[in-house]
Amino acid sequence: MKASCLLLPLALLPIGQLLADTLEREQALKLPDTLISANRQVQARNDSSAASTVFTRDDIDRLQPSSVTDLLQRVPGVQVAQSGGRGSVPGIYIRGTSSAQTLVLVDGQRIGSSSSGDSNLQHLNIQQIERVEVLRGSRSVIYGSDAIGGVIQIFTRRSAEQGLQPRLHLGVGSHQSWERSIGLSGGDQQTRFSLGASLDDTAGSNRTHESYASDRDNDAYRNQSLSLSLSHAFNDDWEAGLNLLDNRGKSEFDNPFGRSYFNGSAFESLPQKPYSEFAVSSFSSYFDGRINEAWKSRLELGHSENREKTFDKLSDERTVFNTYRDSVNWQNDLTLDERNSLIVGGDWYQDRVNSSTAFAEDSRWNRAAFVQHRFKADSFSTELGLRRDQNQQFGGQNSWSGTFTLPLNADNDVLLTYSEGFRAPTFNDLYYPDFSNPDLKPETSKSYELQWRSQLNETTRLETSLYRTDLEDAIIFGSNSRPQNVASARINGFEAALRQELFGWQSNLGLAIIDPRDRDTGHTLARRARRTLSLDLDRQFDRLGLGASWQAVSSSYDDLANQQRLGGYALLGLRGSWALNREVRLEVKVDNLLDKSYSRVLYSHDGAQYGYREQGRAWMFGVTWTPEL
């Protein structure tokens, strides 16, 4: 039995009825019109106050992305700036906010590095992912720190059917790239599991222009990934489970700045051939139950790690940055009556650092309590939330949010939202020797948003957002090379997402226009393009699937002074698939078909400006085998 057959009866029911019947998370993860991340509970996307984009496993198979960042570039209001190819650190900018102001979760667990604030999304293997949810706009009331710009949540692979379902994927592509993935999932009505392993590697390409001779080599990348999900329903009301995702490997990169060396009288720069050995892992376990008809409770325990060792082939230089996080979340969903519902919960997590660099402090905890009330009348609905965080380093922080929803008719809704957010300083900001400031305060934000959601007809849906975000106490490095709470910014923006089916073609169009300004200088914030547009077109002809993607990004600046300009660009990609039979599918894609040369990040060498080379034309051919047992 195929997953689509199992879920067909669910898809034919109104989503409200599904939720009223306590739709299981495992089933909800397969459906495009449900949402879990907004309030940590299953709800219809249209019932959520969050502007959102959802990619299911069916979407991932159809779009054939190489990575999570490939998916994110299709989301209106999201921009990705990488300093090179596979394995390079991506800058994730949601609604003009910075990477550190975006919260990244795997199965409910924070995976960002507590030392640098980087998400390490580039190391999550796409074959081990069931679903990606992207929330645009602050969700600090539910999640606390880091969720100023939005939330990205990745869910690991899940079982959809009873019995055993093996899967095997092999791929080969340009730059000596290989993809290998194997998995097994299944279960019965009480117990479900999914186990998968992947190995990806590529010889890579040269990311930098000529600086040192050592930079002329290609930068290879290797990633080994393992995922496991297991759940057991004790009865109709109580369930427990666990989820594991582990990614580790090796990433080569160039350092065009060289290695700083003191010769006794002055500093010199020597060439390097650096590489890093990384490990990004997340473990979560949960106990989920219905205490009575009005009260559901969920307890989650989690642990995540970011480990990185950096080496240099031309010297004995070695650095270690490892961060660890333990967490507990308890949430209670209460149905007070037909019109009123309540979310009450608490969070606790502790961050630890183990590094070759001696930090003044190497651990800190954060605890929080939150409550959110929802009222639904016949002609409108409201949502009001409050959260209180208590942090070992900076003390207390309150966050508020409120949404008013006005249904104009059965097909049109207008939402007005106010939300506050904050970001706690990282360990690097606070305690890195000689380049930190232990007196830093959290960055804070206030956001205002107007949404219009319209079902124009049976096959066309339009979602738009008009928003403003004000950032205060933003952290930047001052003239003394130490971070300070001195910056402020104002971001105005407009987003539109249009989903339509016409003449058998499925189209998804995303448009974003932003004006992100430094309030003191009036300059545009670095690496934020003012206009982005993405379009995906797909059609299924019996066994043949065809698709195309087009992405256009306007120019931006690499620096706060707006002196270093990054040119705009447009990229075209094609893809196709052919089902030989019910078990074997062939896939092929070509990214950057026109071999566009472009850069998203600049660097300096000997007084000249260069851009990190982004991937040129690249192809991949794959075979997926899902035998029926």
How does pLDDT run across 152-209, given as a tens digit for each residue? 999 999 987 788 999 999 999 999 999 999 999 999 889 999 999 999 999 988 777 7
Per-residue DSSP letter, 524: B
3-state helix vs strand vs coil in the chain, percent to 5:
10, 60, 35
Contacts of 4 (CB under 8 A, 6+ apart): none
Query: What share of the chain in percent tops pLDDT 70?
Result: 92
Report the chain's mean pLDDT, rounded to a whole number.
90
Query: What share of the chain in percent tops pLDDT 90?
Result: 73
Q: How confident is the model at residue 332 (pLDDT cuts 50, 70, 90)?
A: very high
Residue 613 pLDDT > 60: yes
> What's the rounded Cα separation, in Å, for the pair 214 and 466?
48
The reported pLDDT for the residue numbered 88 is 82
Residue 448 three-state SS? strand
Q: How confident is the model at residue 609 (pLDDT cuts 50, 70, 90)?
A: confident
Greatest C-alpha distance within the chain: 78
Q: How confident is the model at residue 4 (pLDDT cuts 50, 70, 90)?
A: very low
Question: What are the residues facing 415 on neighbouring strands?
Answer: 405, 451
Question: What are the residues facing 197 on neighbouring strands?
Answer: 182, 226
Question: Are the beta carbons of 347 and 365 closer than 8 angstroms?
Answer: no
With tokens 């992405």, the residue in question is 551
Residue 342 pLDDT > 80: yes
Global model pTM greater than 0.85: yes
Residue 607 pLDDT > 90: no
Q: How confident is the model at residue 11 (pLDDT cuts 50, 70, 90)?
A: very low
Residue 17 pLDDT > 60: no
Residue 9 pLDDT > 60: no
Residue 232 pLDDT > 70: yes
Extract the tokens encoding 104: 């990244």
The reported pLDDT for the residue numbered 605 is 66
Domains of the chain: 3-625 (2.40.170.20)
* Predicted confidence (pLDDT) per residue in 37-56, tens digit: 999 999 999 999 999 999 99
* Predicted confidence (pLDDT) per residue in 67-103, tens digit: 999 999 999 999 998 877 788 888 899 999 999 999 9
Helices (H), 425-527: 427-431
The reported pLDDT for the residue numbered 14 is 40
State phi, psi for 12 to the nearest 5 degrees: -80, -10
The reported pLDDT for the residue numbered 255 is 74
Question: Are the beta carbons of 546 and 538 closer than 8 angstroms?
Answer: yes
Per-residue DSSP letter, 216: G
- Nearest Cα to 617, choosing from 590, 588, 577? 590
* Predicted confidence (pLDDT) per residue in 138-154, tens digit: 999 999 999 999 999 99
Residue 478 pLDDT > 70: no
- Nearest Cα to 546, choosing from 499, 579, 570, 571? 579
Q: What average pLDDT does the segment 246-261 reach?
A: 80
Q: How confident is the model at residue 263 (pLDDT cuts 50, 70, 90)?
A: low
What are the Cα distances from residue 420, in Å, to 1, 137, 171? 46, 10, 45
> Picking from 13-17, 75-79, 462-466, 539-543, which range would have the lowest pLDDT averaged per residue?
13-17
Q: How confident is the model at residue 218 (pLDDT cuts 50, 70, 90)?
A: confident
